Amino acid sequence: MNYYAIVLAAGKGTRMKSRDPERSKVSYPILGKALVNYVIDAILPVGMKEIVVVVGFGGEVTKKLVEDRAKVIWQKDLVGTGNAVLQAKELLKDKEGSTLVICGDTPLVTTETIEHIFKVHKKIKNHLTIVTSVLEKPDGYGRIIRDSKSNYVLAIKEDKDCSEDEKDIREVNAGLYIFDNKFLFEYINQLTADNSQREYYLTDLVGIFKRNGKKVGAYVVENAVEVFGINDRVQLSYAGKVIRKRINHRLMMSGVSMEDPDSTYISPDVEIGKDTVILPNTTIFGKCKIGEANTIGPNTFLDTVEIGDDNVIQSSWISDSKIGSYNEIGPFTKMRAGTIVANHCRVGNFVELKNTELNDGVKAAHLTYLGDCQIGEKTNVGCGTITANYDGFNKMHTEIGKNVFLGSGTILVAPLKVEDSSFTAAGSTITKDVKEDSLVIARARQVEIEHGYTTFMNKAKAKKEASKK
């Protein structure tokens, strides 16, 4: 059996109240990942032959999020879910198999549930399977209308079209369907906009399938939270809590320790090895890969970072970087833009590294900026050292050898090369290359004037008095 999927991602998301008029609802993130990509993550392992994402409002934003994982088609006129699915007709109409239709704002659905629905659909030999759930407060959802005697599904009524009695029904449409693909596109042109919203409802296909003698069934999902849809920022926050709990539980069960899971925020694509400890108020986003026996946090932010084993990273901000093993990082370290830290390094408080490579054993303990540079093994970077790598037009490179001692307050004006086993005196401004085994002093000669302070203050006082006359 071939499986296909259509992800509905064209809606405006008006209730999100964004100031950005072009922002699509499905682009809102949970733990750094867009809603629509959670849905695609759940679909992919099922083995889809084709995934089609229907975009509309804010479509360019959504397209960039999914185009490397799915085919993108456009719904130019936002006139309902039925019209959205119709846009996929040219791509899928001749395919044999079953097609999943799912909303792009349902990030809590799991692969296991989707697989099970496909199995039920195939086993019962339905032509259309509707996924439903039972809610305490069904307001806003389409209601499932069943035959009072046979209990078969007769129709789905949109909330705005329900009578007062129908509004009391608690079984609702979850917005997830599996169709026989052939009949889906054979009947979809029969949809009309004869309703209060003047829209083409996908749900009207229930009646059309039944009138044509096709078998329509319903699957009541056990955990209603899986089909929870996001319409506002309160619901976004709720879904975020559910996802965070799932991720943290999975990691802890695999051997990761978390002192306070409720204050720990980790993206679903993050990998963490055994015996690593995540301390409170730590956020780990992107495709981070973290090894074993690290201590990370508290108050640390990581985004797309590779980390080896046995590191201590405290109260730091690190992105797009690689860190080896046995390093001590922070507190208050910032790394970014392709920085590489090897092994047995010390990068301390208020140190910023940008596009910089530290080889084994380098120490930069405090109050330092190192940008666009390479530093050799066992070099010591003194407090207050700066690489002046930008002249207002271009970024330039600094190369520092191994076993170098950079005195406190050294300014290295790039482009520059400091060879092995060199020593710069504290307070030096280095503008020329430094040869191996050299001591460099590059600062103004100290001048001392006797009674200079008193003389200066007397002159300043006299000038101030003169200005009052």
- Both structure tokens of 206: 């229930």
User: Does 164 map to a domain?
Assistant: yes
274 and 195 co-located in one domain: no
> By C-alpha distance, which of 385, 384, 409 is closest to 398?
385
Q: If you compute the radius of gyration of the chain from its CA atoms, what whole number of angstroms results?
A: 31
**Contacting residues for 160 by C-beta, under 8 A, at least 6 apart:** 196, 197
User: Does 195 map to a domain?
Assistant: yes
Neighbours of 463 (CB within 10 A): 9
Partners of 424 in the beta sheet?
406, 440
**Contacting residues for 198 by C-beta, under 8 A, at least 6 apart:** 79
> For tokens 């085994």, what's the residue?
437
366 counts as catalytic? yes
In a 10 Å sphere around its CB, with 0-12 CB exposed, 13-18 middle and 19+ buried, how is residue 168 labelled? exposed
In a 10 Å sphere around its CB, with 0-12 CB exposed, 13-18 middle and 19+ buried, how is residue 307 labelled? buried
175 and 275 co-located in one domain: no
| Domains: count for the chain | 2
96 and 196 co-located in one domain: yes
209 and 333 co-located in one domain: no
Q: What is the pLDDT of residue 465?
A: 81
Partners of 22 in the beta sheet?
none
83 and 168 co-located in one domain: yes
> For tokens 């007769």, what's the residue?
154
User: Does 249 map to a domain?
Assistant: no
First CA to last CA distance, the chain: 100
219 and 266 co-located in one domain: no
Indicate which residue of 121, 127, 344, 366 is catalytic. Answer: 366
Q: What is the C-alpha to C-alpha distance for residues 435 and 348, in angstroms, rounded to an integer?
A: 28
3-state SS class at 465: helix
User: Does 140 map to a domain?
Assistant: yes
Q: What is the C-alpha to C-alpha distance for residues 40 and 77, in angstroms, rounded to an integer?
A: 24
User: Does 263 map to a domain?
Assistant: yes
> By C-alpha distance, which of 219, 247, 207 is closest to 134?
219
> By C-alpha distance, which of 369, 343, 372, 368 is closest to 355?
372
Determine contact, residues 338/323, Cβ cutoff 8 Å. Answer: no
Q: What is the pLDDT of residue 333?
A: 98
User: Does 465 map to a domain?
Assistant: no
28 and 139 co-located in one domain: yes
- Is this prediction's pTM over 0.85? yes
218 and 330 co-located in one domain: no
106 and 212 co-located in one domain: yes
Partners of 172 in the beta sheet?
133, 143
Q: What is the pLDDT of residue 293?
A: 98
Q: What is the C-alpha to C-alpha distance for residues 247 and 269, in angstroms, rounded to an integer?
A: 9
278 and 391 co-located in one domain: yes
- Both structure tokens of 188: 């979809």
65 and 132 co-located in one domain: yes
Q: What is the C-alpha to C-alpha distance for residues 62 and 235, in angstroms, rounded to an integer?
A: 20
Neighbours of 159 (CB within 10 A): 15
Task: Find the CATH number of the domain harbouring 313.
Answer: 2.160.10.10
Q: What is the C-alpha to C-alpha distance for residues 107 and 7, in angstroms, rounded to an integer?
A: 12
432 and 321 co-located in one domain: yes
214 CB-side CA count, 13 A: 21
> By C-alpha distance, which of 318, 293, 317, 314 is closest to 306?
318
Sign, CA dihedral 233-234-239-243, equals positive
User: Does 277 map to a domain?
Assistant: yes
Domain range holding 372?
256-440
Q: Taking the chain (469 residues) in consecutive chunks of 10 residues, what is each chunk's mean pLDDT?
A: 94 89 92 96 95 95 95 94 95 94 96 94 93 86 83 82 86 92 95 86 92 91 90 95 97 97 97 98 97 98 98 98 98 97 97 98 96 98 95 93 97 96 95 95 86 84 80
Neighbours of 19 (CB within 10 A): 5
Q: What is the C-alpha to C-alpha distance for residues 186 and 329, in angstroms, rounded to an integer?
A: 62
Q: What is the C-alpha to C-alpha distance for residues 354 and 371, in angstroms, rounded to an integer?
A: 5
Task: Find the CATH number of the domain harbouring 153.
Answer: 3.90.550.10
State the DSSP string of 45-114.
GG--SEEEEEEBTBHHHHHHHHTTTSEEEE-SS---HHHHHHTTHHHHTT--SEEEEEETT-TT--HHHH
User: Does 411 map to a domain?
Assistant: yes
Q: What is the C-alpha to C-alpha distance for residues 427 and 442, in angstroms, rounded to an integer?
A: 8
Q: What is the C-alpha to C-alpha distance for residues 111 and 240, in angstroms, rounded to an integer?
A: 18
CA distance readout (Å), 48 to 67, 89, 210: 16, 17, 27
> For tokens 């979809």, what's the residue?
188
